[in-house]
Amino acid sequence: MTASSQERAQCEISFTVNGKSHTVRVYPMERLLDVLRHDLELTGTKEGCGEGECGSCSVLLDGVLVNSCLIPVLQANGSEILTIEGLASDGRLQVLQQSFLDCGGAQCGICTPGMILASVHLLNKKPRPTLEEVREALSGNLCRCTGYMQIFEAVADAARRGAAT
Amino acid sequence: MKRSPIVGTSVPRMEGRSKVTGHARYVDDMALPGMLHGATVRSRIPRGKIKRITFGPGIHWNEFVIVTPEDIPGKNCIALIEDDQPCLADGIVNHPEEPLLLLAHPDRHLLSKAVEAVSVEYEPLPAIFNIEESVAQGQIIWGADNIFKTYLIEKGDVDAAWQDAAHIVEAEYTTGAQEQLYIENNGMIAAYDPRQGLTVWGSLQCPYYVHKSLMKLFALPADRVRVVQMETGGAFGGKEEYPSMIAAHAALLAMKSGKPVKIIYDRLEDMTATTKRHPSRTRIRTAVTTDGKLLAGEIEFTIDGGAYKTLSPVVLSRGAIHAGGPYYWPNVRIHAKAVATNAPPHGAFRGFGAPQSLFALERHMDRIAHVVGVSPEEIRRRNFLRPGQTTTTGQIINEPIDLGKLLDRALELSSYHAKKETFAKENEQANPKKGVGIASFFHGAGFTGSGERFLASIVGLEACEDGSLRILVSSTEFGQGTNTVLCQIAAEALGLRYEDVSIAQPDTHEVPNSGPTVASRTVMVVGKLVQSAALGIKNTLIASGMLSDSYSPEEFRAACRAYFVKHGKCRSVVQYEQPEGVFWDEEQYRGEAYAAFAWAVYVAEVTVDLTTYSVTVDDFVALQEVGKVLHPVLAQGQIIGGVAQAIGFALYEKVIWDRGRMQNGQMTNYIMPTSADLPPIRVYFEELGNVHGAFGAKGIGELPMDGPAPAILNAVEDALNISFRSIPLLPENIFAALSERATPETVPTSPRGNA
């Protein structure tokens, strides 16, 4: 593809990521995941399967939990996105991050960003979820290390500490 | 000054903060200036001669870097036990997905099209795909007889025992392949500089395995090959040997192009091309007395190694040694065999052969109980190994383990007897059926036999300019907690604070070879070396007059700083020495197979739904003796995670093969347990200590993989009164067995082919 045809195929997309506005020139069908990781260098969002099964690439798009590997960046135009990098502020961990750390909710760490965002999404909707609700809410995020029990504990711990924002 | 202990407490995970904030750097998070992206062209047939390779139309091939076997400077092999696996197939392919050629391009989006455009003409050769075909030797595909390795373990006089048997119980058991399914796919970045040599950064378990294989492939000396481990997103054995292949590929492209090259597998490539747990077949024949005592056993343990030898002999060894379980066999003969098939090589996966042979044995113990007419718990109790008795290899049990007591506690924790009684009553109703099952087992920690002596691991510790300590090991963190526990051990050994100790990123230019991070050896073997290296630092500081015998952490730091000003970094380096009196005969396969065993009794409770034919695990009790728990949260995490993975092995995870190629290489159709699928997994520890391990610890990483599958199938038998002998056990298997058992008018109808 020549440089000018590449220019023509691309378009301008504007969105807010972690409270900061960005405008990027990208192909409209590029995956939101790739734009976050490559264009914005926000590599905390991970790719595990590329087909919406594992949830490692979870982000919040206008408050909705999505798999960023399935979202064409065009769809994110004008939206507000929260990634794992947007949770801690001034070096202080968000409550869920602290609870994951304390309870053993993160082992290898690759599912952790997505798992924490799924938990943020849950606690925003249900500040005091039951165990059944936690199991259900996290069932789109696969973890191969923990067997999930310590993740459930982390979410319960964060709920007790008032993680809901 | 006495401080509260660090070992035994749940300090924060060393690299935990970077993981929960998304700042941890995995290989795909790294980019180098001018970096190209690499891809692998792979075989599409199981076996054949390569006749012609054509680069098809529609691709600007001049923009691509292309690597063929001719570009390999040294020997075309991935060096491991034997040099039989090529880095790039040259003239002949022996399995589907075997690497043939490598491509690199600055735009990674163009690579998949280019890979598709390479067409290969083959002269197909007949291929074999399972243990039966391999053993039949209708086609010889490896060596003279398709056999990678055999072992014979023999104790007592097996042949004489059959005539005294009240019962002879025999059966065959099989286990399927299992994908490790770490959530981070494999990946590597390589750079080449004609003066400095090769550097690779990657997702891997064993930096020095990669180092060794790159030296041979490139004919480079040790100091011109550098391997750096990035944060690694799960491994489970799956990143033990195959990363050497990917590093080799990235490095060949980097050398040819003169630019850094990144290769990141997508999920499909990772699942179809890289290693899995060895499929197995175990035949057990046992002679038993009227009261259920084991008189003799003849065990035939066979594993499918795939197309090349890789680690199969070592997997076979562990499987064979564990085949007798935690029981006393006066007479036993174990024939073990690893055979070749035209599938991608099977490899390391948590448990390493033991989950396969122990599945067979623990199902067989229930079978014996049934034949003899005693309960499953009683048959185990009557045959448990006791202190002073010997294992199948003649190793004397010299720790005060009381398996009977462990069993009692597990039964109590799980309310086993009460459940058994209730379920027996309630199962008279048609649906659902419930059951409970147990498995008792052990897992040897560290390398088998003389393995640790040959590894001769080296561990370093240094006191830095700011007075803090840094651990230098090639032992890697991939979720288990290596960083945390090794720092705890050093801090505890010296009476320092946890924050006073850090650990170096594994980099072969920086850290000595403390051996591979496998075999549940890190805490026990490497940890013990860290402990003694720590004492070395203390002794040096005291000898130099900069530290007194009793000191505070602040005084220790000050002494390190003072030492640095005068002499530079205070360093302590120690090497593994085999404890005295440890005997292992590699020829006869007799002696002390492992420095320590962890012991366990697991209890599973299941529901079998006779509408969907699915099995749900409702409750799981995991009780184990592990020497000493160094970090309660991490230790629990290891056990829970292992049990979850083993529930997948038992009930969900089936690799569908077609002519040696995995057909369901996606997370959509290869099903691992989700958060909604698992029962409460209740973990309990006992601690007997262990003289060979740091602060008494034994290895625990693999243990939880061994017991759940047989416990679950034993529970299913309790529920249905049908003996299943093969895993994974899927709803269609249960449907088939129930249909076979049912009389025609009660055969349930079910939608077929939908599972």
pLDDT tens digits along B117-170: 999 999 999 999 999 999 999 999 999 999 999 999 999 999 999 999 999 999
Quote the CA–CA distance of A136 and A65 in Å, as a whole number: 14
CA distance A109 to chain B (A): 5
On whether both A81 and A101 belong to a single domain, the answer is no
Domains B31-125+181-273 and B451-575 share a fold: yes
CATH number reported for the structural domain that contains residue A134 in this entry: 1.10.150.120
| Interchain proximity A110–B234, CB inside 8 Å | yes
CA distance readout (Å), A54 to A73, B183, B516, B628: 20, 8, 29, 35
> What pLDDT, on a 0 to 100 scale, did the predictor assign at position B751?
41
- Quick check: A2 pLDDT over 60? no
pLDDT average, residue stretch B494-502: 97
Question: pLDDT band for position A38 (50/70/90)?
Answer: very high
Give B325-352 pLDDT, tens digit per residue: 999 999 999 999 999 999 999 999 999 9
> What pLDDT, on a 0 to 100 scale, did the predictor assign at position B748?
46
What percent of chain B clears pLDDT 90, i.e. is strictly above it? 96
On whether both A15 and A70 belong to a single domain, the answer is yes
Let me know: does B740 contact B680? Beta carbons within 8 Å.
no
| Interchain proximity A93–B21, CB inside 8 Å | yes
B106 part of contact set with chain A, CB < 8 Å: no
Angle between helix A149-160 and A95-103 (nearest 10): 140
pLDDT average, residue stretch B48-75: 98
Q: Where are the domains of chain B?
A: 31-125+181-273, 280-448+589-744, 451-575
Q: Has residue A107 been placed in a domain? A: yes
Nearest by CB to residue A135, choosing from B181, B644, B676, is B676
> Of A86, A117, A147, which marks where a domain is finished?
A86
> Of A86, A120, A140, which marks where a domain is finished?
A86
Find residues 124-163 of chain B whose CB sits inside 8 Å of chain A: none
Q: Has residue A65 been placed in a domain? A: yes
Return the number of CB contacts < 8 Å for A and B.
164
- Quick check: B745 pLDDT over 80? no
Nearest by CB to residue B22, choosing from A84, A135, A145, is A84
Q: How many domains does chain A have?
A: 2
Question: pLDDT band for position B723 (50/70/90)?
Answer: very high
From the list B580, B448, B452, the residue with the least C-alpha distance to B514 is B452
Which residues on chain B are in Cβ contact (under 8 Å) with A152? 675
Q: Which option is the CATH number for B280-448+589-744: 3.40.50.300, 1.10.3720.10, 3.10.129.10, 3.30.365.10?
A: 3.30.365.10
Q: Which helix (H) or strand (E) holds A60?
A: strand A58-61
* Residues with Cβ within 8 Å of residue B373, at least 6 apart in sequence: none
> What pLDDT, on a 0 to 100 scale, did the predictor assign at position B1?
47
Nearest by CB to residue B233, choosing from A104, A110, A152, is A110
Question: pLDDT band for position A49 (50/70/90)?
Answer: very high
On whether both A107 and A155 belong to a single domain, the answer is yes
Give A69-88 pLDDT, tens digit per residue: 999 999 999 999 999 999 99
Taking the domain B451-575, which CATH number applies?
3.30.365.10
| Interchain proximity A152–B675, CB inside 8 Å | yes
> What pLDDT, on a 0 to 100 scale, did the predictor assign at position B754?
36
The chain A residue lying nearest B632, using CA atoms, is: A104
Let me know: does B511 contact B473? Beta carbons within 8 Å.
yes
Quote the CA–CA distance of B229 and B507 in Å, as a whole number: 6
> Of A55, A86, A117, which marks where a domain is finished?
A86
B543 part of contact set with chain A, CB < 8 Å: no
- Quick check: A4 pLDDT over 70? no
> What pLDDT, on a 0 to 100 scale, did the predictor assign at position B720?
97
Quote the CA–CA distance of B726 and B719 in Å, as a whole number: 17
Question: pLDDT band for position B385 (50/70/90)?
Answer: very high
> What pLDDT, on a 0 to 100 scale, did the predictor assign at position B747?
42
Q: Has residue A67 been placed in a domain? A: yes
Which residues on chain B are in Cβ contact (under 8 Å) with A142? 183, 667, 672, 674
pLDDT average, residue stretch B577-593: 90
A134 part of contact set with chain B, CB < 8 Å: yes
| Interchain proximity B643–A146, CB inside 8 Å | no
Nearest by CB to residue A110, choosing from B183, B267, B673, is B183
Q: Has residue A2 been placed in a domain? A: no
Which residues on chain A are in Cβ contact (under 8 Å) with B481? 107
Q: Looking at the whole model, is its pTM more than 0.90?
A: yes
A101 part of contact set with chain B, CB < 8 Å: yes
Which residues on chain B are in Cβ contact (under 8 Å) with A69? none
Nearest by CB to residue A110, choosing from B20, B26, B644, is B26
A99 part of contact set with chain B, CB < 8 Å: no
Question: pLDDT band for position B577 (50/70/90)?
Answer: very high
**Nearest 5°: phi and psi at B570?**
-80, 120
CA distance A78 to chain B (A): 24
Question: pLDDT band for position B2 (50/70/90)?
Answer: low
Which residues on chain B are in Cβ contact (under 8 Å) with A51? 267, 666-668
> What pLDDT, on a 0 to 100 scale, did the predictor assign at position B741?
86
Burial B126-157 (b: 16+ CB within 10 A, else e): ebbbbbebbbeeeeebbeeebbbbebebbbbe
> What pLDDT, on a 0 to 100 scale, did the predictor assign at position B743?
58
Domain of A103 in residue numbering reads as 95-160
On whether both A110 and A74 belong to a single domain, the answer is no
> Given its phi and psi angles, is residue B497 left (phi above 0), alpha (psi -120 to 50 degrees) or beta?
beta
Written in H, E and C, the secondary structure of B620-686 is EEEEEECCCCCCHHHHHHHHHHHHHHHHHHHHCCCCCEECCEECCCCCCCCCCCCCCCCCCEEEEEE
Fold category of B31-125+181-273 in CATH:
Aldehyde Oxidoreductase; domain 4 (3.30.365)
| Interchain proximity B644–A147, CB inside 8 Å | yes
- Quick check: B541 pLDDT over 70? yes
From the list B600, B595, B576, the residue with the least C-alpha distance to B702 is B600
A28 part of contact set with chain B, CB < 8 Å: no
Q: Has residue A141 been placed in a domain? A: yes
> What pLDDT, on a 0 to 100 scale, did the predictor assign at position B581?
74
